Amino acid sequence: MGETSTEFTQRERIPVGIFNSAELACREVADAIEALIRERDGADMPTVLGLATGSTPVGLYRELIRRHREGGLSFARVITFNLDEYYGLGGDHPESYRRFMQEQLFDHVDIEPENTHVPDGLVEREEVYGACRAYEEAIREAGGIDFQILGIGRTGHIGFNEPGSGPESRTRLVTLDSLTRRDAARDFLGEENVPRHAITMGIGTILEAKRIYLLAWGEAKAGVISQSVEEAPTDTVPAGFLQVHQDCRILVDHAAAAQLTRVRHPWLVGPVDWTPEMIRRAVLWLARKTGKALLKLVDEDYAENGMADLLTEQGSAYELNINIFNTPQHTITGWPGGKPEADDSHRPERADPFPKRVLVLSPEPMDDVYCMGGTLHRLANQGHELTVACQTSGSLAVPDPDLRRAVELLDEVARGQGGEKEAAFAASLRRQLVAKGQFGEDSRDLRYLKALIRRGEARASGRLLEVDADRLRFLDLPFYEQGRYRRFQPGKADVSIMAELLREIRPHQVFATGATHDPLSVHAICFLVLCQALDLCREEAWTRDCRIWLYRGPGAEWEAHEIDMAVPLSPDEFENKIQGIYQHQTQRSQSPSLDKGSSSNTWNLASLINRSAADTYDQLGLAEYEAIECFRKWVPDSWRD
Ligand code: F6R
């Protein structure tokens, strides 16, 4: 996809290509890299690549490996320089960037080991400066970087150039931003294990590359992409300094493009096709922007905010306001499973059948209560046949101190009451815990124990929400059991477990997360597995009477125009939900997707989100509630006729 500049891209200071998927974008980057390598090989010259780690380039590296294996693309004359490395980690540490590069690319292509460069994370403190200068010198000696791949962090960092890094910065030791450390916490199995420092190429170093491609996938990057592209560069969003580069491109998927003006508010930059969906989006945005209730918007509000043509098309603000007002009004329901024997013509969910067979999917234990605890309570309480399935065991998210407590408890029980076998098992667990150390991987037994801890929490939480323990299912999808964060590889076994459950329940309603912002996240993979399972079932009769409702996922909520069902919670129901979340004791300090600058922990973030959804409805001039949980209706492509 080209980056032709039009009136819609007038605010963009770096060319941005928006792709239908990360995969397609990666293919385009691989095309460019392949062309360069072949051209250089032809001229008997080396190709110097600047490489990044993290989730973003994984697809690109897989594509390059494929081309090496199937298309004879050779890396024999390629020289690489990686952007960064955690300070304090050796190359064999599972989270070191050296190890990442070996596993994701170098071990699978014919690159000469001595041609691969990753900053040394173990260099003595007093030698760091010299090592950084030597790294820069090596880049220069190689002829400079021909082609630099970048990802972007939610802080706006490129490499590990956190906010505060200037355009002149060079390769150096830096302190990691707290948000960056939090984002890495899952990979390191706990924030306390994430190194505090890293060695990174500077922005000045990066800007010397001849050509730069920055890649970003998923909605978590959308905000920082639009800031980098549309705002004047400042130290607070270091990626913005790429604006001065003469040959820089940004490649994003639709989710990462979502905050660009041309996507988010296209009516501000050019003429738009006023479809009902676009009108809904624009009018709800206008109400939020002006701080006015929908029914109080006047012609001037429309005219002053790029929507004069809509007014002309539709007559007057008065008519537009009324039409739009009805839409969010009709999303509100206290009957998420449908209200039996009621007129359902203006309700989000149908009245019949009643009771419904309802399947609620929770990628990890707690996502269900976190994102839809109030709704879950209502579904149970209103008599539906509810099944809550935790797709993965969630064992990876149990911090070690909680594991240690469980091991000690088992040990004490075994000593007090148990026989020899129990005592031996407890002692073996203790040994395994010691052997694992701070950074090691959990043994199978330890991981199993962690999974059991999370099951216990899920049951305790379910009890508060009137979801009996026998309504809970623990699928323990194999991709999770066999994987590690960012290294998950979902497969057929996962899909068939999911499909089997769907076939057994034949649900009238499925509630699942639509959080696909990080394609390698547990949430996105669980959604992918669900999609594939739904595809397998597409011919089955139950699918014709099944509705799928997506909750947005932890840490965020749907935007007003995306909401198809809004379930209000009274203060008591809301408090009950919060108590349900508290039962997940091991998750008290896990914070999967907090926004930049937020100091909240996972627990109070849930209440902020539900309260702010209620504020949105209130501000639009609808009813005023304590809290609201929101859902979006979704139909898999393969189910559409
Ligand atoms: C990695 C690097 C970082 C990442 C960024 C995005 O070498 O330099 O800037 O590119 O943190 O990480 P992911 O891709 O994991 O979202």
The domains of the chain are located at 7-262, 270-329, 357-639
DSSP SS3 for 123: coil
Ligand 1 closest atom vs CA 151:
10
pLDDT at residue 504 in the model: 98
The torsion angle over the Cα atoms of residues 617, 622, 625 and 627, rounded to 10 degrees, is: -20
3-state helix, strand, coil in the chain (%, to 5): 50, 15, 40
Q: Whose CA is nearest to atom 11 of ligand 1?
A: 153
Q: Taking the domain 7-262, which CATH number applies?
A: 3.40.50.1360
Reported as a pLDDT band with limits 50, 70 and 90, residue 436 is confident
* Distance between CA atoms of residues 400 and 412, nearest Å: 18
Ligand 1 closest atom vs CA 159:
8
Give residue 205's identity as a one-letter amino acid code. T
Residue 329 predicted with pLDDT over 60: yes
Pocket test for ligand 1, best of 56, 82, 183, 241 (most atoms within 8 A of CB): 56
Among 68-72, 219-223, 262-266, 365-369, where is mean pLDDT lowest?
219-223
pLDDT at residue 3 in the model: 67
pTM for the predicted model, two decimal places? 0.84
Distance 356 CA to ligand 1 centre (A): 44
Whole-angstrom CA distances from 173 to 159, 208, 366 are 12, 19, 38
Whether 523 and 367 have beta carbons less than 8 Å apart is answered as yes
Residue 430 predicted with pLDDT over 60: yes
Closest CA to 255 of 56, 83, 62, 59: 56
- Pairing between β-strand 147-150 and β-strand 211-216 as defined by DSSP bridges: parallel
What is the average pLDDT across 383-388? 98
Give residue 104's identity as a one-letter amino acid code. Q
Pocket test for ligand 1, best of 51, 96, 97, 160 (most atoms within 8 A of CB): 160
Residue 517 predicted with pLDDT over 80: no
Residue 513 predicted with pLDDT over 70: yes
Count of beta carbons in the 10 Å neighbourhood of residue 4: 9
Pocket lining for ligand 1, CB < 6 angstroms: 52-56, 83-84, 97, 151-153, 157-160
User: Tokens for 353?
Assistant: 């059948």
pLDDT at residue 439 in the model: 67
Distance 85 CA to ligand 1 centre (A): 11
Distance 215 CA to ligand 1 centre (A): 10
Q: Above pLDDT 90, what percent of the chain?
A: 80
* Distance between CA atoms of residues 458 and 587, nearest Å: 11
Distance 173 CA to ligand 1 centre (A): 17
Integer Rg of the chain from CA: 26
pLDDT at residue 597 in the model: 38
| Bond prior to 355 in cis (omega within 30° of 0) | yes
Highest-confidence range of 39-48, 191-200, 432-441, 514-523, by mean pLDDT? 39-48
Pocket test for ligand 1, best of 29, 49, 53 (most atoms within 8 A of CB): 53
Ligand 1 closest atom vs CA 57:
14
User: Tokens for 434?
Assistant: 């010691």
Ligand 1 closest atom vs CA 486:
15
Residue 398 predicted with pLDDT over 70: yes
Give residue 387's identity as a one-letter amino acid code. T
Whether 85 and 50 have beta carbons less than 8 Å apart is answered as no
Contacts of 470 (CB under 8 A, 6+ apart): none
Residue for token pair 């802080």: 155
DSSP SS3 for 199: strand
Task: Confirm whether 162 is a catalytic residue.
Answer: yes
Distance 534 CA to ligand 1 centre (A): 33
Residue 600 predicted with pLDDT over 60: no
Whether 96 and 136 have beta carbons less than 8 Å apart is answered as no
What is the average pLDDT across 377-402? 95
Q: What is the mean pLDDT of the chain?
A: 93
Distance 53 CA to ligand 1 centre (A): 6
Q: Whose CA is nearest to atom 2 of ligand 1?
A: 159
What is the average pLDDT across 82-110? 95
pLDDT at residue 180 in the model: 85
Selected catalytic residue, list 85, 162, 230, 557: 162
Distance 229 CA to ligand 1 centre (A): 18
Ligand 1 closest atom vs CA 157:
9
Reported as a pLDDT band with limits 50, 70 and 90, residue 388 is very high
pLDDT at residue 428 in the model: 93
Residue 170 predicted with pLDDT over 90: yes
Q: Do domains 7-262 and 357-639 have the same CATH topology?
A: yes
* Distance between CA atoms of residues 56 and 54, nearest Å: 6
Whether 172 and 159 have beta carbons less than 8 Å apart is answered as no
What is the average pLDDT across 294-317? 93
What is the average pLDDT across 318-330? 94
pLDDT at residue 415 in the model: 84
Ligand 1 closest atom vs CA 82:
7
Distance 150 CA to ligand 1 centre (A): 7
Long-range contacts of 292-300 (CB under 8 A, 24+ apart): 293/619, 293/620, 293/621, 294/321, 294/324, 294/325, 294/328, 294/620, 294/621, 295/321, 295/322, 295/325, 295/621, 296/321, 296/621, 297/321
Q: Whose CA is nearest to atom 1 of ligand 1?
A: 53
Q: How many Å from the N-terminal Cα to the C-terminal Cα in the chain? A: 29
What is the average pLDDT across 223-251? 97
Helix axes 602-619 and 367-381, enclosed angle (nearest 10): 60
Whole-angstrom CA distances from 105 to 59, 75, 80, 108, 520 are 11, 11, 11, 6, 17
Q: Whose CA is nearest to atom 10 of ligand 1?
A: 151
In CATH terms, 357-639 corresponds, of 3.40.1050.10, 3.40.1190.20, 3.90.25.10, 3.40.50.10320, to: 3.40.50.10320
Among 469-473, 529-533, 574-578, 599-603, where is mean pLDDT lowest?
599-603
Highest-confidence range of 20-24, 104-108, 191-195, by mean pLDDT? 104-108
